[in-house]
Amino acid sequence: MVKILGIVGSYRKQGLIDTLVGEALAAAEAEGATTKKIYLTDAHIDFCRNCRHCTQRPGPERGDCVQSDDMDAILDEWAECDGLVLGAPVNFFNTTAVTRRFMERLVGFAYWPWGQMAPSVRAKHAGKRAVVITSAAMPGLMIGVVTGAPRALRMIATTMGAKVIKTICVGLVAREERPTPPARAVRRAQAAGRRLAAR
Ligand SMILES: Cc1cc2nc3c(=O)[nH]c(=O)nc-3n(C[C@H](O)[C@H](O)[C@H](O)COP(=O)(O)O)c2cc1C
């Protein structure tokens, strides 16, 4: 059975991003997948210390982090999954701080011993696939051009060993406190969820 992990990097439960991640997961479930949603704001995730302990050992397995918080449990859960729905809004022209904090803790997916100039990702696209979703006040077409958010979300997914099959950018969402997600964005999230469920 296909397992899909949803990760919400928005600060607002039932906000735009949470709703669209939920739509993607619900559509995947309707196709028979099992899903789980994690809110990064609920997780205990400390900042990366740049100690690079986790990057020293060679091999395909992610390195061990010296910190003990919720990160291992999240990544162990991910190891059992086939698909990822990762959503986070644009804040100050990039993704949210809570999402970037999570991203920095993924460095153990790379092998980067002291003496090597740059990291090399341990396992690329091991059959896992991802959909990333972002939203902003600006028009959707501008998001990929003037913000770093889609790139950051795709980098998270690829670092986690997934191939990104869809990037959904939803613009003009900050005019109301509780906007109704645009119908087109809902349809795109649902279609992306169905694609992840189909193996
Ligand atoms: C602190 C903060 C910074 C923001 N920065 C931007 C920005 O740089 N560009 C933009 O278009 N929208 C920006 N926004 C609007 C958010 O992207 C928008 O409210 C969000 O996509 C809604 O998603 P949510 O319902 O999941 O919170 C910002 C909002 C906040 C609160």
Tell whether pTM > 0.95: yes
Give per-residue pLDDT as tens, 151-177: 999 999 999 999 999 999 999 999 999
User: Number of structural domains, the chain?
Assistant: 1
Residue 123: what pLDDT? 78
How far does Cα 29 stand from its chain's mean position? 19
Distance 177 CA to ligand 1 centre (A): 11
Which CATH number does the domain housing residue 126 bear?
A: 3.40.50.360
Distance 5 CA to ligand 1 centre (A): 24
Give the structural domain span for 81.
3-197
130: β partners? 84, 164
Q: Which atom of ligand 1 is nearest to the CA of 142?
A: 11
Q: Would the CB of 12 count as within 6 Å of ligand 1?
A: yes
Range list of β-strands (E), the chain: 3-8, 34-39, 83-87, 90-91, 94-95, 110-111, 120-121, 128-135, 162-170
